[in-house]
Amino acid sequence: MKLLSNEVIKKYDYQKTRSKVNEFMEQFEESYFRYISVLPPSITSHLSEIKVQTSMSSTSALERFVIKKMELEEEFIKNLDLVLKIVDDMTYEEQHYYKGVFFLGNSESMIMEELQCAEKRLRHVKKSCILKLALALDKAVLK
């Protein structure tokens, strides 16, 4: 696949599209951290916290943990698969830009240096990358 042409890029409002992509990526990042941050309940005895359970709950704390962990994992894996499929269809430069900015937190100057390209070329790669992602996620905004 090649970079999107300037004619295609000009049909879309880049700022609004970029904003929608950023929102999606923030939600993706939040789902990741929610998934990895769910901790299991303590299974050791705490004598100071002895409580009589009055509710007739059919699930234990450990079972609720496993269910919650599985739900968060399912949500994260679904979004991860979607993102990876989209990124696989991008050019090498777009992939490098996407992974550098969204996964590694690299600056654009660092990416420009790694790709050994001029600022004008990087702007085109960036716009093409963001627009491809937005089109695949159905978040692109026409002018």
Write out the two tokens for 9. Answer: 């890029």
Average pLDDT over residues 53-81: 78
- Say how many residues make up the chain: 143
Q: Determine the Cα–Cα distance for residues 34 and 89; give it in Å rounded to an integer.
A: 28
**112 close to 126: Cβ distance less than 8 angstroms:** no
Model confidence at 40, pLDDT cuts 50, 70, 90, reads: low
Long-range contacts formed by 97-104: CB under 8 A, 24+ apart: 97/122, 97/125, 97/126, 97/129, 98/129, 98/133, 102/25
Q: Determine the Cα–Cα distance for residues 60 and 90; give it in Å rounded to an integer.
A: 46
The reported pLDDT for the residue numbered 75 is 86
Phi, psi at residue 141, to the nearest 5°?
A: -115, 120
Taking the model in full, what pTM does it have? 0.78
| 45-54, 79-88, 92-101, 129-138: least confident range | 45-54
The reported pLDDT for the residue numbered 43 is 58
Sequence ranges of the domains in the chain: 6-39+57-137
Q: How far is CA 8 from CA 14, 70, 83, 130, in A?
A: 11, 41, 22, 13
The reported pLDDT for the residue numbered 57 is 59
The tens digit of pLDDT for each residue in 21-30 reads 999 999 999 8
Q: Which of 44-48, 60-64, 83-87 is modeled with the greatest confidence?
A: 83-87
Q: What residues does 142 pair with on adjacent strands?
A: 12
pLDDT top residue among 102 and 48? 102
The reported pLDDT for the residue numbered 65 is 79
Phi, psi at residue 12, to the nearest 5°?
A: -115, 150
The reported pLDDT for the residue numbered 99 is 94
Work out the mean pLDDT of the chain and round it to a whole number.
86
